[in-house]
Amino acid sequence: MNEIDYASLLCSRLCHDLLSPVGALNNGIELLADETDPRLREQCMALLVDSARTTAGKLKFFRLAFGSGGGFGEEIAVHEIRMALEGMFPSDGKLEVHWLIDSEGLPKSAAKLLLNLALMVGEALPRGGTLTLGSERRDTVVEIVVRGEGPRITFAEDLRESFAPGASGQAVTTRTATSYLIRSLVTEAKGQLALSGATDPFLMFGVSLPV
Q: What pLDDT, on a 0 to 100 scale, did the predictor assign at position 152?
A: 95
| Residues of the chain falling short of pLDDT 50 | none
Q: What pLDDT, on a 0 to 100 scale, did the predictor assign at position 133?
A: 97
Stated pTM of the model: 0.88
Q: Which residues contact 191 (CB under 8 A, 6 or more apart)?
A: 207, 208, 209, 210
Structural domain including 37 reads 3-210
The enclosing domain of 14 has a CATH number of 3.30.565.10
Q: What pLDDT, on a 0 to 100 scale, did the predictor assign at position 139?
A: 84
